[in-house]
Amino acid sequence: MVTAAAVVRLHGAGDLRVADEPVPAVGAGESLVRVEAVGICGSDLHWFEEGGIGDAQLASPLVIGHEFAGVVEGGPLDGRRVAVDPALHCGHCERCLEGHQNLCPNVVFAGHGSCDGGLRRYLSWPTEALHELPDVMDGTDGAMLEPLGVAVHALDLGHVHLGAEVAVVGCGPIGLLLILVARAAGARVVLAVDPLAHRREAAERAGAETVVAPEAVPAEIAADVAFEAAGPDAAVDVAMQVARAGARVVLVGIPSDDRTSFSAGLARRKGLTIVMARRMNAVYPRAIALVERGLVDVDWLTTHRYPLAEAGEAFAVAAARTGLKVVVEP
What domains are defined for the chain?
A: 4-132+298-329 (3.90.180.10), 150-276 (3.40.50.720)
pLDDT number for residue 301: 96
- pLDDT score recorded for residue 50: 84
- Model confidence at 51, in pLDDT bands (50, 70, 90)? confident
pLDDT number for residue 46: 85
pLDDT by residue (tens digit) across 101-153? 888 999 999 988 889 999 999 999 999 999 999 999 999 999 999 999 999 99
Instruction: Compute the radius of gyration of the chain from its Cα atoms.
Output: 19
pLDDT score of 182 more than 80: yes
Residue 47 pLDDT > 90, yes or no?
Answer: no
pLDDT of residue 228: 97
The pLDDT of residue 137: 95
Full DSSP string of 136-193: T--HHHHHHHHHHHHHHHHHHHTTPPTT-EEEEE--SHHHHHHHHHHHHTT-EEEEEE
Please report the pLDDT score of residue 129 as a whole number: 95
- How large is the average pLDDT for residues 213-219? 95
Tens digit of each residue's pLDDT (9 = 90 or more) over 64-85: 999 999 999 999 999 999 999 9
